[in-house]
Amino acid sequence: MEKTLFEKIADKEIPAEIVYEDDQCVAFRDVNPQAPTHVLVIPREPIPSLESLAETNAPLLGHLWMVIRDVARQEGIAQGGYRVVVNCGQDGGQTVDHLHFHVLGGRPLQWPPG
Ligand code: 5GP
């Protein structure tokens, strides 16, 4: 099966500024940042979306949240606060079919989103 764009980034076939990686996940800067800090955290496993998660993915999800917390600290936005966004499906605005968590910070963020 064709690799997703984010699998290619995780496998370093497409360049990206990787800020963290381990055997389960990769975090890299979004190419079109919406805030001074905009990092995407993805599992290496090409899970298409939140909707396609299985019960067996629960430990991976727990790990991803710990990585998100650590990336926020590493980026210096933990103290000021930040937002984690998962777009799911067409109405959710998902454009890349590989589960990813947006970590946004470095400025006050508006609410609600559009
Ligand atoms: P979505 O809209 O699916 O929630 O988010 C996809 C994100 O991937 C967007 O914020 C977009 O800017 C980012 N993105 C798309 N293509 C690339 C790329 O080739 N490299 C990087 N680093 N980010 C990308």
CATH number at residue 46: 3.30.428.10
Ligand 1 touching residue 90 (CB < 6 A): no
* 4 CB within 6 A, ligand 1: no
Q: Is residue 78 part of a domain?
A: yes
Separation of 34 CA from ligand 1 center, angstroms?
Answer: 11
Residue 64 lies inside a defined structural domain of this protein? yes
- Beta strands (DSSP E) in the chain are 18-21, 25-29, 37-43, 82-85, 101-105
Cβ-contact 42, 5 below 8 angstroms: no
**pLDDT tens figures, 25-77:** 999 999 999 999 999 999 999 999 999 999 999 999 999 999 999 999 999 99
Q: What is the mean pLDDT of residues 101-105?
A: 98
pLDDT of residue 77: 98
For 16-22, what is the mean pLDDT? Answer: 98
Answer yes or no: pTM beyond 0.95. Answer: yes
Residue 111 domain flag: no
Question: Active-site residue 100, yes or no?
Answer: yes
Would you say the CB of residue 101 lies under 6 angstroms from ligand 1? no
Domain containing residue 44: 5-105
Q: Is residue 114 part of a domain?
A: no
Number of domains in the chain: 1
Whether residue 94 has its Cβ less than 6 Å from ligand 1: yes
Residue nearest to atom 13 of ligand 1 (CA): 30
User: CA 32 to CA 34: how far, in whole Å?
Assistant: 7
